[in-house]
Amino acid sequence: MNAPASSATQLAINTIRTLSMDGVQAANSGHPGTPMALAPVAYQVWTEAMNYDPAQPLWPNRDRFVLSCGHASMLLYSLIHLSGIRKLDKSGKPTSEPSLSIDDLKKFRQLHSPCAGHPEYGYAAGIETTTGPLGQGVANSVGMAIASKHLGARYNKPGYSLFDYKVYALCGDGDLMEGVATEAASMAGHLKLSNLCWIYDDNGITIEGHTDLAFSENMAEKFRGLGWNTISVADANDLGSLKSALDTFRKTSDKPTLIVVKSVIGYGSPNKANTHGAHGAPLGDDEIKLTKKAYGWPEDEKFLVPDAAKQAFADTMGKRGGDMQSKWSALMAQYASAFPKEAAEIQCIVAGELPAGWDAGLKPFAADPKGLATRVSSGKVLNMLAPHMPALIGGSADLAPSTMTLLDGQGDFSAENFAGRNMRFGIREHGMAAALNGMSLSGLRAYGATFFVFTDYMRPSMRLSSIMHQPVLYVLTHDSIGLGEDGPTHQPVEHLAACRAIPGLYVFRPGDANEVLHCYRAAMQLKKNPSAMVLSRQNVPTFDRNVMGDAAGAEKGGYVLADCEGTPQVILMGSGSEIPICVKAHQELTAAGVKSRVVSMPCMELFDEQPASYQESVLPSSVVARVACEAGIRQGWDRYLGVKGRFVGMSSFGASAPFNQLYEHFGITSANIVSQAKSLLGK
């Protein structure tokens, strides 16, 4: 039986609906149907379930709400406005202004409006993550739930429960059809993330029509198989059943919860034939008037917000959240006195700052002609960082022995040990990357590892790391044909160019152990950008820095590694495991009387940020004879090569053979570099 809503409650719900209709209509673009249908569900979560203080939107122990069905963004914008969430200044402090004003809602989907077509993290307080690509939001929510469990296990003390926040994610058929959602759900079930609740809008409609066209899964059964608690609510308007379901979630201590809610797209409209149009298009003025009439709403009023609707949020979420935040802040002050070291760590995590002495453990590697694979030196550097960076947590998609990403003595993160810092993500590359975003949004310095070729499976989440300005670290090994016998399916060729094409992603490909160290040092200092650490399977020599350029130059993205007297005749450039090949070619050219310079380019993005004077000192414009060498495709190098430059690398897929044979077969050799250089010089 439907529990009757109070007049104030129904007024608030209908305000959400009418704001959503009006916003989409004003933009003449968007999706009004889902916000209309899910208004009661969202209202119930926000006013009765969530612990959230609108006056302190960044309260560290706030519950998180993720609108995974991001096309329903007007639902979230309406909630933010009605609940009175405060706007933040540039330093993250709350102001007296609303996060989203009614004028902001009127500019839905317009240039420079915080109310973008899909929720964008950073545009307005109350938006916890960027959603739009379906499945990403729910997968992010798994990372947020992991962070809550981890922070609680690390920092809660008897009498001091600082971190126990819950994560609510609203999702639809489109989210749960996407593979990334199932990867993340499987992970959450295995980890028994009891603080995670997905609310599934089972409305039976997608863009093409009824879900029967392509989809016949029983989600409740599927999620039970994944280790979830599942609850069904037959009608999205039944607030009593929704309350009961949410209460059951909060009482469940051993598994995540899926609430399956039946709704009708565009609920409340007297024109039931228009339900599909309401999903993906404005209703039109006539339909809106009919719908408002059915609600008992003034038909000609647009963006009407009755005071009682705001009061309904203030009396519930606002009062409860304000009280809880105030008590938490007082508890945190006591905690800081009792546990100053832990409190300082928490402060850094919350602020997204590096702790004092974070790089104190970084020690240079001794010169060694045999050297190390950069994946090996990477593992050593991670372990140099871990004791001094408490927020550093991560792992691999089932490849820890190969990617060298285990943190010594830090334990595995598991349902039995949420304090562990080694994540076991399983063979779920995309779910891993999406969860990393959620962990990063919660203040952790999250990293995830796999073979470089499998960035094909992670790219959407890597792109979102950059869109959201999250300093997620991707540790990507087996970076070229150098992995050898596994063959072309596992040999990344176009992947360096593909990763470099993502705006804001810093792609590091260090050439020896000390470059690895300095690349990590640079990556850790990035606050607003993700990093890809691209690493070799095969050994590379550790250069003698008394003879070669200072490896600290890697922190500028590119630097002179080996040089001649005076102005060079030719510049040899490269990255990663091809740097030793460039050095050998340099030695051969020098012996032949050709003045050459070797430029190591571990991070193009950092080099491009350097002053023009520095760039000119490394790559003088007067030297047009240039050769670049990299075991990938040429794309990306032309801005350094110029019109006359030559490229030694790949123009096809790889092959299966020992790596040294492959380099010879594909002409990635010092002899070829020397030949190209001499040809450029007419010799």
Which residues have a catalytic role annotated?
Answer: 429
- Location of structure tokens 């299966």: 656
From CA 610, how far away is CA 145, in angstroms rounded? 39
Strands ordered across the beta sheet of 559-562: 559-562, 596-600, 570-574, 626-630, 646-649
Phi then psi dihedrals of residue 639, to 5 deg: -65, -20
From CA 155, how far away is CA 157, in angstroms rounded? 6
Instruction: Detail the DSSP E strand segments found in 503-625.
Output: 506-508, 531-534, 539-542, 559-562, 570-574, 596-600
From CA 469, how far away is CA 121, in angstroms rounded? 9
Q: 613: which residues sit within 8 A by CB, 6+ positions away?
A: none
From CA 414, how far away is CA 405, in angstroms rounded? 17
Nearest Cα neighbor of 299 from 275, 319, 270 is 270
Q: Which two tokens stand for residue 155?
A: 């920092």
Q: Which two tokens stand for residue 560?
A: 């002179």
Number of residues in the chain: 683
From CA 420, how far away is CA 407, in angstroms rounded? 10
Q: Which two tokens stand for residue 126?
A: 């109350």
| Alpha-carbon distance values, 265 to 119, 209, 291 (Å) | 20, 12, 13
From CA 12, how far away is CA 309, in angstroms rounded? 4
From CA 40, how far away is CA 242, in angstroms rounded? 9
| Alpha-carbon distance values, 335 to 116, 325, 353, 405, 625 (Å) | 40, 15, 20, 33, 63
Cβ-count burial 654-677 (b if 16+ within 10 Å, e if not): beeeebeebbeebebbbebbbbbb
From CA 534, how far away is CA 512, in angstroms rounded? 12
From CA 71, how far away is CA 292, in angstroms rounded? 22
From CA 14, how far away is CA 295, in angstroms rounded? 7
Instruction: Detail the DSSP E strand segments found in 349-444.
Output: 368-373, 392-396, 422-424
Report the SS3 class of residue 483. Answer: helix
